[in-house]
A and B are shown apart, each in its own frame.
Chain A
Amino acid sequence: NAGVTQTPKFRVLKTGQSMTLLCAQDMNHEYMYWYRQDPGMGLRLIHYSVGEGTTAKGEVPDGYNVSRLKKQNFLLGLESAAPSQTSVYFCASRTGGVGYTFGSGTRLTVV
């Protein structure tokens, strides 16, 4: 039981490049979330999904897109990366009535 797995763990992008972060969970959870964490700050919600085929915006959605084509996967896309998107990205999942399970994070640097 791997829990929540994020790939890649590290990435350096040039301004304007695109990339996709993958989050996979093997717990059959309905809800999945993408957060970002800037140095010394708490986590901020980017987008989330309450089930396969559904997505919704969080606090800071601009510059990001998401897709949930399969229940176990939640993809976060950056179409044109900017230095302001340099951050650590965390994925989380949960099912009703229990706590959230977080991945170990993706450290993204945009130069």
Chain B
Amino acid sequence: DAKTTQPNSMESNEEEPVHLPCNHSTISGTDYIHWYRQLPSQGPEYVIHGLTSNVNNRMASLAIAEDRKSSTLILHRATLRDAAVYYCTTNAGNMLTFGGGTRLMVKP
């Protein structure tokens, strides 16, 4: 199991970029890195995933370290609607294993 480590919480100002870090030092070479977010009383929502190269989509960017032992989720301009718990996980053995995630608070 590739375990992930994230800060418990982070704070950001509205309309500023946010960098959410994640360590996954035991990841194997074929495991994808996934990010999900969960708003209160909702199911997790897919944000982005990648293997080695940096990835961009309409929601966020994912920067993956060259040694793949860490990654950073980048929200380019945080909005109040981005306040959520963000989970970094890996798809080891065809399943996602979730840690405690990072609670992102966005200040107006």
Contacts and interface: CB of A to CB of B under 8 A. Distances in A.
A41 B49 contact: no
Interface stretch (B10-18, B36-44, B76-84): B36-44
Interface residues on B, range: 10 to 19
Contacts, number: 51
A74 interface: no
Per DSSP, chain A at the interface is: strand
A90 B94 CA distance: 17
A48 B95 CA distance: 8
A33 B95 CA distance: 8
Interface of B: 34, 36, 42-49, 87, 94-101
20 contacts: A4-B43, A31-B94, A33-B96, A42-B87, A42-B101, A43-B44, A43-B87, A45-B96, A45-B97, A92-B96, A99-B34, A99-B46, A99-B47, A99-B49, A100-B46, A100-B96, A102-B43, A102-B45, A104-B43, A105-B42
